Structure 1
Amino acid sequence: MDAPVTRARTDEQLFVSTLPGLEPALEAEASALGWKPRRVDGGVELEGPAGLHQDANLRLRCASRVLLRLGHFRAGDSDTLSDRLAELDLSHVWDGRSPPKLSVSLNRSPVPGPDVVFSAAAYAWNVPSVERAGPLDEEGGGPGLTLLVRVDGDAFTVSADTSGDALHRRGYRQEVSRAPLRETLAAGILRLAGYDGTQPLVDPMCGSGTFLVEAAWMAMRRAPGLLRAFAFESFPSFDAQAWAGRKARAEADALPAPGAAIHGYDINAGSLGTARRNARRAGVTLALERQDARTLKAPVKGPGLVVVNPPYGKRVGEAEDLPALYRALGNTLRQGFAGWRAAVILPDEAALVKALGLTGARSLPVKNGGLKCRLLLSGLDVT
C-alpha cells in the first residue's frame, strides 16, 4: 500500500533554484542571511518559519526562483496518484476557483507521460482540466497559481511557485544593450569574486550596467526584490500588512549609497546612456565614462575588483576579431590594474582563455543565456 502524503516538518520547506555554477554563491548568500541552506544540484534547500518564502524572494540576489514544497508521496498507479493529490492541502496557495497550472518533470518514472499527471490532478481537484505551464527554468507561468510536480520513479514532490516572473527581473533593467548579462548571474559572479562593497569596482565594458547596479545594491545592502511583484501576493494566505512590514525592514537595512567607488566604461555611447537610465531606475548614481577598455587605467587607487563580460562573437561583432581584443583586455588587466583582482566571464573556448592570459586564474564553468562559459577569477584567495 502506498504511503500517505508527507508534509514538511517545519512551517516551510523551500527549494531555491539558481543558474548552473552559482550554487556555491547562493549557498553562501543564504548562510550570510542567517539561514541554514543545504546545497543540492541546481540550488539550495531551506527550512524555516512561515513567511520564509517571502524573505527568500525579497533578499536573495543569486536565486532564480523560490518553490514552496507542498508535499511528498509515492504512487504506483493513476488511482493512487489522484488520491494523494486530493490529500494535499492547497488552501493556503489556491482559492479553489481558477484551475492551477501544472509543470510536470518526469525522471526515470514508470508514469507513461505527463498526461497521466494532468488527468489525475483535474480529477483530484474537481476541475474540468489543468493547464500546462511548461518548464519554469527561464520564465514564470503567467498569472494565477503554478504548481510543479517532480516525479522520480514512483516518488512525487509537489511545490508551488512563489516567484512568478524569474527573479532576475528586478524591475530596473527596462533597457538592454548588446550582449546583456542576467542580473542573477551578475550578482553570483560578484559574490564568487569576493566582492563585499568595501573596495572599488570597475567594469571596463559595462554595457547596460548590470554588474554596476548589482554591485551598488550589494554595497548598499539593498534587497533585490523591492521593485517588483511576486506570485505569492495572490495566495489566499497572503497577509499584505505583514508583507509591507517585511519590505519596510528591508528598506531600513539599506545604506543611502555605496561605501566605495564604482566606475563603468564602454566605448559605445549608446550603451552608457542605457546604463545611466537603468541605474536611475535602480536608485543609484554611477560614474560612467566613454573610454576604450584596451587603453584603460585604474581610475582610483587599488586594490579593488575589475569585473567584465567581454564580447563573445556569437552575440556581438565578428569572432575573428576576438583573440586580439582579449589579448588587449588581458594587457589592461595586468598593466592598468596591477594589484587588482579580476573576474571575467567569457566563452568556454581555449583560444580565448589563452589570449586573455590570466595565468593562474581559477576557472569555473557557468552558463550565460544558454552559452557554455568560463568564469576566470584572478588574484583571489579562494578555494
Structure 2
Amino acid sequence: MEMPEAYPMKGGDGLHSYAKNSYFHRGIIDVAKQFLNEVIAEKLDIGTVVSSKAFCIADLGCSVGPNTFAAVENIIEAVKSKYQSQGLNSKIPEFQVFFNDHVSNDFNLLFTSLPQDKKYYASGVPGSFYGRIFPEASLHFVHSSFSVQWLSGVPKEVKNKSSPAWNKGQIHYANSGDEVIRAYKAQYEKDMDQFLEARAHEIVVGGLMVLMFLFNPDGIHPSQSSANMMLDLIGSSLIDLVKEGKVDEEKVDSFNVPMYFMSPKELEAAVERNGCFSIERMENIPLLFLTGNTSPVAHKIAAHMRAGMEDMIKQQFGDDIVDELFDLYAKKVDKIFIPCALNSSIKGGNLFVMLKRKA
C-alpha cells in the first residue's frame, strides 16, 4: 500500500485555527445526536458486542477538538442509556476512547484541551485510516465525521500533463472533463475499499460505525453539488489572482484538492463490495447556515474552509496570498454560493450513515 498523504486541519487555537472555526461541523454533530441515540437504542446488542469490561470507541480523523469531544460524549451517553433501559445500570462498562488522525495532526492541543470531567480513558492513535490502525476485533464503536471525503492522495492522472485527465485550470473535479471525474472516482473507490476492509478487521461482530460527510446527491452532475461548488469557488478565486499577476498559473494547474464527495449509491456500492457491513440508517442533514443575514455567514464559511485548507494553500502558493484569497472567496460565497443554495439550484447536504458489522 502506498503511503497516504496527510492534510491536517489548521492546528493551534489561533484566529484561523480549526478549533476556532469548526462550528458548522459541530452543528451537524449536534443534529445527528438524535439519530445516534435512536440507532444505538435499536441496534446495539449489548450481550454480543461487549464481552469485556471496557467499551472501546474510536474517532477517526479527530483533528484537535472540540468537536471530537462532543461526538464522543454523545456516543457514551447513548450507550449508557441503552444499558439503563435494560435495567443494567450496574453493568455499564468503562469507556476507552481512541483519538485517531495523521501523525502531523496537532495532538498536543487535542490532549491539552481534553474535558476535565471526561468519563473515559483517552489515547491517541496516529496514522492513516486507509490502513489498519487497531488490533483485530478490538473496537465496539467507530465514529468519523467530515473525514472520509479526504482521499489518501490526489489521483496521479490529474497531475500528469500527458494524461487525458490532466486537470489544467481547475483545482477539483466538479467542473472538469469526464476523464478527471473518473480519475477522482477511481481513487475514491480504492480508498473506500481499503477503509472498509480495515474496519472490518478492527470492529467486533455486531459493532457499529457512524460516518458523516458532505455528499453528492444521486443522479446529479458534480457541478450541481453544494459541496463541490464550495471548493470550486476557491479555484475561481485563485484564477482571479492569476489574472492579477499575483499567482503563477502553472502552480494552479498543478494544484488539486484531494476530496471526493460520494453519493449515497456510491457508498452503498462500496459497502456491498466489502460485504462485512449492513447499512442500518441513512439520513440527510441539510446545510445549517442558510438562514439569517448571509454576509456574516459567507465570512464564517470562508473561515471554516481556511481552517481546513490553509496549510495546503501555503505549501503550494506561499503565505502572501492567503488573506486575499479567502477575502475573495468570502465575496464569491456571498454573491454566488448562498443564493444558489437558497434557491435550490445546487443540491446536497450532510449524510449520516450507520453501519453494523455483520457476522
Larger Rg: 1
Larger RCO, structures 1/2 (Cα 8 Å, 6+ apart): 2
Q: Which has the higher helix share?
A: 2
| TM-score of the pair, normalised by structure 2 | 0.38
Q: TM-score, normalised by structure 1?
A: 0.36
User: Greater strand percent: which structure?
Assistant: 1
